[in-house]
Amino acid sequence: MQILWLNHRDLRHPRGAGAERTIFEVGRRLAERGHRVRWVSSAWPGAPVHDSLAGIEVSRYAGPLLPHAAGALLLRSARPPDVVVDDLAHVVPWCSPWWAATPTVVFFRHLHARTLPGQVRGPLAAVLTRVERSYSRLYRRAPFVTESQQSQTDLEALGIASDRCWRIPPGVDSQVLRPGTLDAIPSFVFFAGLRPYKRPKDAVRAFALYRRSGLPGTLSVVGAGPSLEGVRELTRTEQLDTDVRFMGRMSAEALAELLSHAWVNINCSVAEGWGYSTLEAASCGVPTVAYDVPGVRETVLEGKTGVLVPDGDVAQLASGLRLLTESRPTWTARCRGYAESFSWEECASRWEEVLTRAAA
């Protein structure tokens, strides 16, 4: 089976993240099973036009429009793919059914209307929200794949019938992401794109309250993005220069090493399609304190993988840090056991079933 996967970024893109991880993990397993997988995405300065990622053929095109044009041309070529995946990780649809009769599967990550405010200006956010509401008209017959129950509920609210929705949770690499020896001093980690909807400043504010209570600790901030300088300034204002480390973007191996020794993970997102970082932390035996928001509440299970607090309540985030720190040794086995129930092999098999049915 020849599969064309359309997404605005690939795993090597400077802003590639959890959304791209799923494509890579599923795509490389499909390639290992004999399928041909081609990934079309956007380029960045100095990026190779053609590349290979673990058996996945990657083609990159500059600008916001060329990837769409390339996808349309490939669909209308003399030898089109057997099935195409229109990945909606970044709002703008690919509209494959409008270009060709090739069977289409749509990958819906989460409702962007929740996370657009603060990322783009008001008028553009309004336009993109209207685009998102048009998915049911753009993809009248295509099956939709999503990862969480919340995202499936959102799809149904957008007018996608439940019998066209497949819910396929992602996996986690439990061989790489493993528990290690805890740091001598309580260590906290916040890892995400440093963007407004991830609310990294709330993590720093909660850590500041924790430190003011007289308890020891360090905070590692992993990631990059437009909120970085604001977070640095807040760290200076809170006089946490010696307690907060800015790690930048880290390789998967380096992040796994950092997590394996951490005490608590902090998540402050407005919403997620799926809490990738909380699942990766759990695989390392690390509990998470997070706001009780869509997507996150499906991976941070109260009393099992962490603590949920009211959305926006920084004081309760700090209380969660204290609670998890005091009981930290009791969380490792529970977190690890939960994470081990998620498999990339199972995820890839279910994707293979959806794609095979669509192609037939």
Q: How is 211-269 classified by DSSP, letter by letter?
A: HHTT---EEEEE--STTHHHHHHHHHHTT-TTTEEEEES--HHHHHHHHHT-SEEEE--
- pLDDT value at 121 more than 80: no
Structure confidence at residue 128 as a pLDDT band (50, 70, 90): confident
Does the pLDDT of residue 85 top 90, yes or no?
yes
Q: Does the pTM of the predicted model rise above 0.85?
A: yes
CA-based angle 172:176:181, to the nearest 5? 115
CA proximity to 306, closest of 277, 271, 264, 336? 264
* Alpha helix (H) residue ranges in the chain: 18-32, 66-75, 96-99, 122-133, 135-138, 149-157, 200-212, 228-237, 252-260, 276-283, 314-326, 332-339, 344-359
Q: What is the pLDDT of residues 284-336, one digit of tens each?
A: 999 999 999 999 999 999 989 999 999 999 999 999 999 999 999 999 999 99
- Note whether 91 and 128 are within 8 A (CB): yes
Residue 4 scores a pLDDT above 70? yes
Q: Is the pLDDT of residue 205 over 90?
A: yes
Residue 61 is predicted with a pLDDT of 96
Q: Are 111 and 132 in contact (CB under 8 A)?
A: yes
Which is more confidently placed, 15 or 201? 201
Residue 118, pLDDT > 70, answer no
Instruction: Calculate what percentage of the chain has a pLDDT beyond 90.
Output: 89
pLDDT band with cut points at 50, 70 and 90 for residue 179: very high
For 177, half-sphere exposure in the C-beta direction (CA atoms, 13 angstrom radius) is 28
What structural domains and CATH numbers belong to the chain?
2-171+343-359 (3.40.50.2000), 187-339 (3.40.50.2000)
How large is the average pLDDT for residues 209-218? 97
Bridge partners (DSSP) of residue 155 are none
Three-state DSSP class for 128? helix
What is the residue whose two structure tokens read 């949920």?
Answer: 308
Report the mean per-residue pLDDT for the chain.
95
| pLDDT of 120 strictly over 80 | no
Tens digit of pLDDT for each residue in 335-359? 999 999 999 999 999 999 999 999 9
Q: Which amino acid is at 50?
A: H
Q: What is the pLDDT of residue 275?
A: 87
